[in-house]
């Protein structure tokens, strides 16, 4: 059982690596112990977006009268059907990955793989528990990550849960406390608030979505408060106890001092833990630092012929980053000349209502790096398309270097911004200036006109504000 390339893991890093390798004529095997597509496709990116879409449809129906549409009775969410739909969506996409594996003649081996020496991988097969040994000149590790568990918040899967459990709840909780306000925490907070749960977000740092520009964070906090979500920033969770019949007790310390909160469900959204255990890293001497595998710009570890991509490495834990790393890693293996990833142009998206999308430096980061700034902002309230769509919350903020006029960062909150962020991402990568964006004719009426107007605003030339 010899191959050119073996990939352990079939998430957005692993399956993309396998397909690109097959396209380049390599004999490839993929080892996967669970569902094809990994966590992102089966238990993360895709099913959560399906649930969020259900919540958006519910909100649209509830506000149908504002668009001249009368609906008899009050629309009610059916969580069981929403969950069933999200599982169907995930299963459909997983079958799509299986189709691609077959199309490219990639051998899929169901089991748990681990390094067993130079060029060797042992697989404990799912089918019967026996062990098979595979050989390859190149081995790519792409086993991803899982929700992090904290000792003060022991996960029981019923009342104290993580993101995977949150996808499968069998009832709409009366109240839910979300610990952590990154993308995962905010998305689930947005979803359950839309269904009518009393939601509390608890964040240790001073702002929601702490990696985003501060103005974006403040806008999202206002948006959550409009949804009657309680937002507690600058607040530490001391302990979570599940020792009552109907409520969890959450001991916190924040701006008002020590307090005890109650919630039917507590969702832990405090980050991820890499799946580096039982991979045989110590067998071959792969270097690990702070729970991450050390790699070069193309995924090469310190051991020749062994590579790591995606969440296993110190790069941003995003599906599109894993896919980009996968392609560059395989092309380097195959003797091509891929360009390293431009880490200054990695987009980030949060699928709340309203959405958040960003790329590049925040205003604070740009100031700390010594840039003189030229900033342009355009509000959705001045957008014809946003007004027509009934989606006037949000704005686009563009940050330019005051000397070169080049785009340093783009930060957006509002309807459809996750679809709009590709334009400033390309602009950031190409070194595009505000004048370049101003001279680019944007279609009307569209949400994307806000990017044009924000660039114009940076030069004091915006037409519609």
Q: Where are the domains of the chain?
A: 2-147+273-333, 160-268, 344-458
Q: Which residues does the annotation mark as catalytic?
A: 444
Q: pLDDT per residue over 85-142, tens digit each?
A: 999 999 999 999 999 999 999 999 999 999 999 899 999 999 999 999 999 999 999 9
- List of residues 6+ apart from 130 with CB closer than 8 A: 124
Domains 160-268 and 344-458 agree in fold: no
The pLDDT score that the predictor gives to residue 352 is: 97
pLDDT at 199: 98
pLDDT of 282 reads 95
Cα 362 to Cα 429: distance, rounded to the nearest angstrom: 16
Q: Which two tokens stand for residue 66?
A: 């504002």
338/306 Cα distance (integer angstroms): 18
Q: What are the beta bridge partners of residue 198?
A: 175
Give the class (CATH, top level) of 2-147+273-333: alpha beta
410 in Cβ contact with 421 (< 8 Å): yes
pTM of the model: 0.95
**In 3-state terms, what secondary structure has residue 366?**
helix
Strand partners, 29: 6, 107
pLDDT at site 241: 92
Give the closest residue to 118 by CA, choosing from 395, 308, 303. Answer: 303
* CATH placement of domain 344-458: 3.30.390.30
pLDDT value at residue 99: 98
At residue 73, the pLDDT reads 87
Q: How much of the chain is in helix, strand and coil states, percent to nearest 5?
A: 35, 25, 40
Query: Which CATH code for domain 160-268?
Result: 3.50.50.60
Residues (pLDDT < 50) of the chain are none
The pLDDT, as a whole number, for residue 339 is 96
CA gap 324, 322 in Å, rounded: 5
């Amino acid at each position: 059982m010899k191959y050119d390339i073996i990939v352990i893991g079939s998430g957005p890093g692993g399956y993309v690596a396998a397909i690109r390798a097959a396209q380049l004529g390599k004999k490839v095997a993929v080892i996967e112990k669970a569902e094809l597509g990994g966590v992102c496709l089966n238990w993360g990116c895709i099913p959560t977006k399906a649930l969020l879409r259900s919540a958006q449809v519910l909100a649209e129906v509830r506000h149908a009268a504002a668009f001249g549409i009368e609906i008899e009775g009050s629309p009610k969410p059916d969580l069981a059907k929403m969950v069933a739909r999200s599982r169907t969506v995930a299963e459909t996409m997983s079958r799509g990955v299986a189709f691609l594996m077959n199309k490219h003649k990639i051998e899929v081996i169901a089991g748990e793989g681990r390094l067993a020496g130079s060029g060797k991988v042992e697989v404990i097969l799912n089918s019967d528990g026996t062990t098979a040994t595979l050989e390859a000149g190149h081995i790519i590790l792409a086993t991803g990550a899982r929700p992090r568990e904290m000792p003060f918040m022991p996960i029981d899967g019923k009342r104290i849960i993580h993101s995977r459990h949150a996808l499968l709840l069998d009832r709409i909780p009366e109240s839910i406390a979300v610990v952590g306000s990154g993308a995962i925490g905010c998305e689930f907070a947005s979803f359950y608030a839309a269904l009518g749960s009393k939601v509390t977000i608890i964040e240790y740092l001073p702002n929601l979505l702490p990696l985003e520009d501060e103005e974006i964070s403040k806008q999202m906090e206002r948006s959550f408060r409009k949804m009657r979500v309680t937002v507690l920033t600058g607040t530490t969770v001391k302990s979570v106890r599940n020792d009552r019949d109907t409520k969890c007790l959450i001991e916190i310390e924040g701006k008002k001092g020590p307090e005890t909160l109650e919630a039917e469900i507590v969702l832990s959204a405090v980050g991820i833990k890499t799946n580096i255990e039982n991979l045989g890293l110590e067998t071959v001497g792969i270097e690990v630092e702070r729970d991450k595998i050390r790699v070069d710009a193309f995924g090469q570890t310190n051991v020749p012929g062994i590579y790591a991509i995606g969440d296993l490495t110190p790069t941003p834990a995003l599906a599109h980053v894993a896919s980009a790393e996968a392609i560059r890693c395989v092309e380097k293996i195959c003797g091509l000349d891929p360009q390293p990833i431009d880490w200054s142009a990695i987009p980030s998206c949060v699928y709340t209502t309203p959405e958040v999308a960003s790329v590049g430096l925040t205003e604070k980061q740009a100031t700390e790096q010594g840039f003189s700034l030229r900033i342009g902002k355009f509000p959705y309230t001045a957008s014809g398309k946003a007004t027509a769509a009934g989606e006037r919350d949000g704005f686009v903020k563009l940050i330019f270097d005051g000397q070169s006029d080049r785009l340093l960062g783009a930060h957006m909150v509002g309807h459809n911004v996750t679809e709009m962020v590709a334009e400033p991402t390309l602009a950031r990568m190409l070194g595009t200036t505000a004048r370049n964006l101003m001279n680019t004719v944007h279609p009307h009426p569209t949400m994307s006109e806000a990017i044009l107007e924000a660039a114009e605003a940076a030069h004091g030339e915006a037409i519609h504000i």
